[in-house]
Amino acid sequence: QLQLQESGPGLVKPSETLSLTCTVSGGSISSSSYYWVWIRQPPGKGLEWIGSIYYGGRTFYNPSLKSRLTISGDTSKNQFSLKLTSVTAADTAVYYCARERYNWNDFDYWGQGTLVTVSS
Amino acid sequence: QSALTQPASVSGSPGQSITISCTGTSSDVGSYNLVSWYQQHPGKAPKLMISEVSKRPSGVSNRFSGSKSGNTASLTISGLQPEDEADYYCSSYAGSSTSLFGGGTKLTVL
């Protein structure tokens, strides 16, 4: 059974960098059948697709976040990571990592989510 | 890229049917049969309910069905049950390996 687990600081100061890691077990991030995705949800609001990483390290970003965003993968640890720079209170959200099926573009497995609060 | 448009809330009584719409554009919903729907209970991660407009993943009740016409996709839940009360989100492929979500719809079972 595939499992995804987010980890990282729950509190980040404004203007600093938000860094999260997703550890995948029960499946390989090296598979060409899936994208590995970050999605966020501000408190009381809807879901926002942040970006993804695909086989071979190709990355795809939400245009609204692209200038501040880096997604990377570590196949040796079966992890992928998110870095979002120059954060503000608007970046406060529950951050989810998920698996997206390549041919169907649906998100079939999700992590439990981790709340990141941007505050001084 | 703008979020897909969903009604903020819908409601129905147990046993009734409800439909949630998801409106996009000719660049996303209208161009691809790659619309999916997610159910989210409070404090939980979303759960995939419908894939590729109308396909149910294994284990999802056949009370859930999906369809699409033009730039609008729809999720129908028949025979409403109390446990269906949740937030529902649509998602669509938007080209160039990107995706869009709808703003979400809160379903209340009266």
pLDDT digits (tens, 9 = 90+) for B6-38: 999 999 999 999 999 999 999 999 999 999 999
**Which among A35, A106, A112 has the least Cβ separation from residue B45?**
A112
pLDDT at B1: 72
| CB-CB under 8 Å, A107 with B45 | no
pLDDT at B2: 84
What is the pLDDT confidence band of residue A76, given thresholds at 50, 70 and 90? very high
Judged by a CB distance cut-off of 8 A, whether residue A104 touches chain B is yes
Helix, coil or strand: residue A109: strand
| CB-CB under 8 Å, B89 with A106 | no
**A114 neighbourhood in chain B, CB within 8 Å:** none
Q: Which two tokens stand for residue A28?
A: 């390989």
Preferred mutation among B6, B44, B99 to probe A, highest tally of A CBs within 10 A: B99
Average pLDDT of chain B to the nearest whole number: 97
The pLDDT tens digits for A86-114 are: 999 999 999 999 999 998 999 999 999 99
The pLDDT tens digits for B40-60 are: 999 999 999 999 999 999 999
Q: Please state the rounded mean pLDDT for residues A7-17.
A: 97
* Bridge pairing between strands A11-12 and A114-118: parallel
In the predicted structure, residue A54 carries a pLDDT above the cut 90: yes
**Non-local CB neighbours of B58 within 8 Å, separated by 6+ positions:** none
What is the pLDDT confidence band of residue A27, given thresholds at 50, 70 and 90? very high
pLDDT at B33: 97
pLDDT at A118: 98
Place of tokens 């989810």: A96
Alpha-carbon distance of A115 to A42, in angstroms, equals 9
A43 CA: distance to closest CA in chain B (Å)? 10
Q: How many CB atoms lie within 10 A of CB B61?
A: 14
In the predicted structure, residue B106 carries a pLDDT above the cut 90: yes
Judged by a CB distance cut-off of 8 A, whether residue A16 touches chain B is no
| CB-CB under 8 Å, B91 with A47 | yes
**Which among B57, B96, B102 has the least Cβ separation from residue A46?**
B102
Chain A stretch 45-74, residues whose beta carbon is closer than 8 A to a beta carbon of chain B: 45-49, 52, 54, 60, 62-64
Cβ proximity of A24 and A4 under 8 Å: yes
pLDDT at A100: 97
Give the percent of chain A with pLDDT over 70: 100
The pLDDT tens digits for B70-79 are: 999 999 999 9
User: What's the start-to-end Cα distance of chain B, in Å?
Assistant: 35
| CB-CB under 8 Å, A105 with B34 | yes
Torsion of CA B103, B105, B106, B107, to 10 degrees: -170
